[in-house]
Structure 1
């Protein structure tokens, strides 16, 4: 099974090019480790199941999320879904061949408990794969860079901190910190692969900050509300295909942006195994 293409992700998120770019890069990174995956795969933070369908479709999987709203949609795409807390997962020891978490574990205040659960549930030789924002997230954030260059670093940090609070980012870690946390849980670190370089980081953090304003705005006048309204108009007018082409031209250079030898990037694919 190949990783979903950039085109497939733009099809899934036609009006959110930054999310399509982020997801496409995540799956390109995750696909390198497909040979390590084995059923059943526990998909932590499965949401509405769309990503599971694209990325984990060839494996038997169990979707887990603490939020009941998206799980009602996930039931249509994943054979088995369970509402559960990542700190206390209702499965027996050694029952999973792989533990997968897409942009989920950075939102957990008690990361150590989640990693301990992953180690408990994985059978020997099982793989843990997580996609997360990296320790470079704040330094690469567009507003942080802009206001620092203007001599106002405190203002940039305040904006970034406000966005992080809204996004509930608790674990923005580098490879060394991840290695320590994984080893403490009983997992052997395998790889920490960076994705989404500085140019792509500026684009995605700008777009995501617009979608997650840190101050209240009436619904329609929020960028997301206005954007969805215009998207609906364009969709009915037959403009969706045109905008997909525009977005692909827009994000493809960022998708192909190489990561430098210093490994500075806004995202990280974290891979570990339970010792055989």
Structure 2
């Protein structure tokens, strides 16, 4: 477990909580608060009991007092926000001095690790590969796939200091994510028609999926357990990954 290396001091806020699935499977106890701009996922989050309070709000106008939260988390959310500066400024505002901001985003290797793009590159179809990467970024609704230096500058501008970071999500995991977009289209149809991603969410129905995905999950957990000590000054020795995890702290005392 990486929990001892990543303490979750309370109160804790989930920035862009969505339907609450991530918090419900990640944390043993409900988080203190979560918010999202979209109402439909919030109704799902309410049914998961993953938060003590939920709010519909924009990231640039969070409905919380100054210096209130000891921890803010954001799981694969910031890359979907066109204008980041107001959201990061609000994050700094609601954090207590010394509070921690955990977040993860796709990094600069995300697009280069797409398997279809790599295959097109290998046969010399470089322009088509570039078009495919733009297409995938568009369907993934990504506005940012930036590196550590870019994120460090953004954090510094709002009074947050980057303490640690590490890459994760290797090539095999990336292939699963990429092809999952296409193989998961029937689930999208199910969601539109019935409101459920999985019609029969039983262990038997999902056993094949678990057998395929479990090794990828365990590999990533093992890599993260090794890399949680990567400091800004020392860098990170872990192999490249499609995504980046950051630990930032609000300056002051």
Same fold (TM over 0.5): yes
Hey, what's the Cα distance between the residues in 1 that align with 2:24 and 2:83? Answer: 28
Structure 2 residue 211 is the aligned partner of structure 1 residue 249: yes
CA shift, 1:257, in A, is: 4.1
Q: Given the superposition, is the C-alpha separation of residues 151 and 250 from structure 1 closer, same or farther in structure 2, using an over 3 Å criterion?
A: same
The aligned runs of 1:41-52 (5 Å cut-off) are 41-52=12-23
The aligned runs of 1:223-262 (5 Å cut-off) are 223-224=186-187, 232=199, 235=200, 240-257=202-219, 261=237
Is the Cα–Cα contact under 8 Å of residues 24 and 30 in structure 2 kept in the other structure?
no
Could you say which residue in structure 2 is the equivalent of 1:74?
45
Structure 2: runs of 5 or more not aligned: 224-235
Could you say which residue in structure 2 is the equivalent of 1:63?
34
Structure 2 residue 6 is the aligned partner of structure 1 residue 34: yes
Aligned length: 232
Could you say which residue in structure 2 is the equivalent of 1:214?
none
Q: Deviations over 1:119-140 (max 9, x none)?
A: 1110011000112112110000
Structure 2 residue 121 is the aligned partner of structure 1 residue 158: no
Over the residues paired in the alignment, what is the CA RMSD in angstroms?
2.6
Structure 2 residue 248 is the aligned partner of structure 1 residue 272: yes
What SS does the corresponding residue of 1:114 show, helix, strand or coil? helix
Is the Cα–Cα contact under 8 Å of residues 143 and 206 in structure 1 kept in the other structure?
no
What SS does the corresponding residue of 2:14 show, helix, strand or coil? strand
What SS does the corresponding residue of 1:135 show, helix, strand or coil? coil
Q: Structure 1 length as normaliser, TM-score?
A: 0.75
Hey, what's the Cα distance between the residues in 2 that align with 1:123 and 1:225? Answer: 40
Q: Deviations over 1:15-70 (max 9, x none)?
A: xxxxxxxxxxxxx6xx46432x2111111111122222232443641110000011
Could you say which residue in structure 2 is the equivalent of 1:25?
none
Judge which range, 82-91 or 262-271, deviates more. 262-271
